[in-house]
Chain A
Amino acid sequence: MSDAAPASQSAPQPEPQYATVEQQAEAASFGMWVFLATEVLFFGGMLLAYTWLRANHPDGVAEAGRHTTVVIGSVNTLVLLTSSFTMAWAVHAAEHGRQKALTRLLSATALLGLLFLGLKGYEYHGEWTEHLVPGLNFHQDGPHARTIELFYFLYFLLTGLHGIHVTIGIVLIALLAVRARRGAFSARYYTPVEVTGLYWHFVDIVWIFLYPLIYLVGRSGP
């Protein structure tokens, strides 16, 4: 969590409330998992709303889904999956005390995150020009216009909140990269890398579920 231990290469000292460094590392990792459980329910509440919409207005949701930009969505999925891979690799490098590799892999992960956000922004721009932004710039015709509006209402909230999570992740990972470059981590102390990695993988998992729910709806239809 935010309670990072003092950076020291030789003999890391635990914070005063802990007896040992191991206890501190376990507490940080467990704390992150508890936080991720919280996050599951945070996104879960909105997924319930999505489920309700889709169950009650299946045709409208299918039509709305066909308005989404599946190419960007798929490329973005690839980007995030790859960033998860580089993050896992980064933790592995930290575990083995390879400072240079760690710095590079963290930087790569942050850059992939930025690429994701860039593509997402481009996609938002496209939706603005197509009048798909509920409440601000929405104009659609047809029998399902209302459902499309609700779909996009949830779409912007889901992807927006996910995007905030990605942004926070990028900041955290970039800070870690800077610290790694300064040699803050070693094979004996890399808890912040591990814990931030857990967070980043979780953000990836959220997207893994958002992808079919947003971009693949109604693709087999007319």
Chain B
Amino acid sequence: MTTATVTGKPEEPVVATKNYLTEGGVTLRSWLLTRDHKRIAILYTLSITFFFFVGGAAATLIRLNLVTPPGIFTPDIYNRLFTLHGVIMVWFFLIPSIPNTMGNFLIPLMIGAKDLAFPRLNLLSWYLYVGAGFLALFAILIGGVDTGWTFYTPFSSLYSNGYVVLALAAVLAVGFSSILTGLNFIVTTHRMRAPGMTWYRLPVFVWSNYATSVIMVLATPVLAITLILVAAERLLKVGIFDPALGGDPLLFQHLFWFYSHPAVYIMILPGFGVISEIVPCFARKPLFGYKFVVWSSIAISVIGFFVWAHHMFVAGISLYAGLVFSLLSYVIAVPSAIKVFNWTATLHKGWISFDAPMLYALGFIGLFTIGGLTGLFVANLAFDVHVTDTYFVVAHFHYIMVGGMVSAYFGGLHYWWPKVTGRLYPEWWARIAALLIFFGFNLTFFPQFILGYLGMERRYYSYPPEFQAWNIFSSAGASVLAVGYALPFFYLGWSLFRGKRAGANPWAATGLEWQTPSPPPTHNFDRTPTVTRPPYQYRPEPEPQDV
């Protein structure tokens, strides 16, 4: 139990009586003042789920509005809805989703540590997140914001009549939460690894969260200062982004996208990590090209900083800058493609079983590939001029963010559910949900590629009648998607009380997190483990017990 020996056999289902859920008390106080990374991960999961449904409700209303032009909402309400959807989904779901829930829970377990390096900072990070979330909700409830999640100046700073400053403050606070998490992960990965856990023995999940943390720590401060500049400009009516004063609104876009493009990789890199854990386990094969996968994560986090102005091709930047950023945007496709090839090669001649996590993982690979390839379209200057600010772009990034990241989130949630709760989820329900999400997603967003290519602009409350058929497809897909996302809420909740006991290692997976009981004890391991082997030592063929 204390070494990383890989047995391939499920452990005897042991009901761990002393675990992190029971040790230290079950009072509300013991949860709200906890320093245990696993409990903080649970706190994050609950709050993130709440915001996911808030953002999802806004998306539902948006799709409802777009069924019948000119829709059911006034343009002003519609503007507030898509801003709400964007702000909540980007900063209160996608950015913290995998790192703060699974990363928080698993990184110390995977590297054989007792906790993160700075547990108090970790708790502070959650309080910042929750405080920021309530501030954002407050801004929405008293009247909302109509700037879009991008807060473009000079609209946001001088013209918008929404509660922009409150929303900016909320995003600023959640940004600091993100910085603290990133800092914690970086120090933990460097300083807290168990004996023998060398860098090339780290699971890819840890590597990709490390790469994510680098972005969090180095990009988020630029967002913070940008938001402060906008807020000051709005409050003082004077600012560096105001063209009437000789300022430059494009400077805002440069600063904003210096954060917000790398932030896209904050949203997707942890997903890569989850998929790299699931695919080898359910193909019963070592991850193909481990080092390539690892270094492509690092490459993405670095090159991700070099591409931001591809959001600004038609905004008025110089043609030369457009060429440079277009070229760099093609470059970043290389490490992303490496990953897809490696996962595919891992599947090759594998002994594949289609459990729910694997269904999500396979869905991820396909949807991310579509999202990535259309990313190449919009990296192309000429094509981008045609589709800028259309639904083509909306579809492209939803394929990455929802088809990719949310699939990975659900995949990871199912994969580690037994570890976190000690219970198995109902497999058939989970497979049905995974399939519903996959088909609902494609039905929702594939028509949007067509709509965008035909010229339907994003962020408009209405559209010409010839676009209606595709919009009805899209809204129909959204309702399937909504059912798909609601299902796990119920059956996972049910499994908390009625699910079968999981045992330490229900998937016969490798990795230190499976070597400790489910749910794990407060300090993770009875004795600090010593690692002697690389990760993903799956046997080529399954053993009889696996079936």
List chain A positions with a Cβ less than 8 A from chain B: 1-3, 15-19, 23, 26-27, 30-31, 34-35, 37-39, 41-46, 48-49, 52-53, 56-57, 134-136, 138, 146-147, 149-150, 153-154, 157, 161
Contacts and interface: CB of A to CB of B under 8 A. Distances in A.
The 9 closest A-B pairs by CB, nearest first: A135-B236, A45-B225, A42-B221, A17-B115, A134-B238, A41-B221, A45-B222, A27-B191, A135-B238
Given A38-B217, A38-B221, A31 B240 contact: no
Interface in B80-120: 108, 113-120
Interface hub of B117, B224, B229, B248 (most chain A Cβ within 10 A) = B117
Nearest to B218: A41
A127 B227 CA distance: 25
Nearest to A15: B119
Contacts of A56: 246, 248
Contact of A1 (B121, B224, B229, B248): B121
A52 to B, nearest CB: 6
A52 B240 contact: yes
B181 to A, nearest CB: 12
Interface stretch (B182-190, B327-335, B486-494): B182-190
Contacts of B228: 157, 161
A136 B187 CA distance: 43
B382 to A, nearest CB: 29
Contacts of A157: 228-229, 232
B483 interface: no
B117 A45 contact: no
A3 B114 contact: no
Contacts of A146: 245-246
A17 B192 CA distance: 8
Interface in B181-220: 183-184, 186-187, 190-192, 217-220
A3 B240 CA distance: 39
B420 to A, nearest CB: 20
B336 interface: no
Contacts of A35: 183
Contacts, number: 121
Given A52-B240, A150-B238, A1 B528 contact: no
A135 B247 contact: no
A23 B221 contact: no
Given A16-B523, A17-B113, A41-B219, A135 B235 contact: yes
A1 B118 CA distance: 8
A57 B191 CA distance: 48
Interface hub of A3, A45, A147 (most chain B Cβ within 10 A) = A45
Nearest to A46: B225
B179 interface: yes
Contact of B183 (A34, A48, A135): A34
B237 interface: yes
Contacts of B238: 134-135, 138, 149-150, 153
Interface of B: 108, 113-121, 124, 179, 183-184, 186-187, 190-192, 217-222, 224-226, 228-229, 232-233, 235-240, 245-248, 251, 254-255, 258, 523, 528
Interface hub of A18, A49, A147 (most chain B Cβ within 10 A) = A49
A147 B114 CA distance: 55
B508 to A, nearest CB: 29
B118 A49 contact: no
Contact of B245 (A3, A149, A154, A161): A149
Contacts of A134: 236, 238
Contacts of A34: 183, 186-187, 217
Nearest to A1: B118
A38 B220 contact: yes
Contact of B118 (A3, A16, A149, A161): A3
A150 B246 contact: yes
A3 B120 contact: yes
Given A38-B217, A57-B246, A17 B117 contact: yes
Nearest to A135: B236
B482 to A, nearest CB: 38
12 contacts: A2-B118, A2-B120, A2-B124, A15-B119, A16-B114, A26-B191, A27-B191, A34-B217, A42-B224, A42-B225, A44-B222, A135-B238
A145 to B, nearest CB: 10
B217 A30 contact: no
A31 B119 CA distance: 13
A38 B247 contact: no
Nearest to A133: B236
Nearest to B179: A38
A52 B245 CA distance: 14
A1 B188 CA distance: 13
A37 B255 CA distance: 17
Contacts of A31: 117-118, 183-184, 187
A147 B187 CA distance: 43
B221 A52 contact: no
A114 B224 CA distance: 27
Contacts of B224: 42, 45
A2 B184 CA distance: 12
Contacts of A136: 236
B165 to A, nearest CB: 14
A25 to B, nearest CB: 10
A168 to B, nearest CB: 13
Contacts of A43: 225
Given A37-B218, A150-B247, A3 B236 contact: no
Contacts of B237: 135
A38 B184 CA distance: 13
Contact of A17 (B119, B190, B220, B246): B119
A154 to B, nearest CB: 6
Contact of A45 (B192, B217, B255): B255
A46 B124 CA distance: 26
B116 A17 contact: yes
B239 A153 contact: yes
Contacts of B114: 16-17
Nearest to B256: A45
B240 A27 contact: no
Given A31-B183, A31-B184, 10 more contacts: A2-B118, A15-B119, A17-B117, A27-B117, A38-B217, A41-B222, A45-B226, A56-B246, A154-B240, A161-B228
B218 A150 contact: no
A39 B119 contact: no
Nearest to B523: A16
Nearest to A39: B221
